[in-house]
Amino acid sequence: METNEIQISRNIKSCREKHGKTQENVAEILNISKQTYLNMENNPLSYSINKLNGIAAAIGCNIDEFFLK
């Protein structure tokens, strides 16, 4: 059984890819390093809802998509 964190990570990656963004693109939009973004994508529950909302805006999707099963 998959944990919520793994599902959210997969959803963030899926949304990013669906919108044609690379990790580098999103990191640049957020004005952070690629490694910092990679950590955020891989460990989303370690970050505030505001940071996740920022990722959604940078990708061009709705934050709700991160939490869908």
Task: Say how many residues make up the chain.
Answer: 69
Query: Which of the following CATH numbers is that of domain 4-67: 3.40.718.10, 1.10.630.10, 1.10.260.40, 1.10.1040.10?
Result: 1.10.260.40
Among residues 58, 62, 63, 60, the alpha carbon closest in space to that of 29 is found at: 58
What pTM, to 2 d.p., does this model score?
0.88
Report the alpha-carbon angle 38-42-47, nearest 5. 90
- Other C-beta atoms closer than 10 Å to the C-beta of 9 total 19
| Residue extents of the structural domains in the chain | 4-67
13-64 per-position pLDDT tens digit: 999 999 999 999 999 999 999 999 999 999 988 888 999 999 999 999 999 9
Rounded distance, CA 58 to CA 69, Å? 22
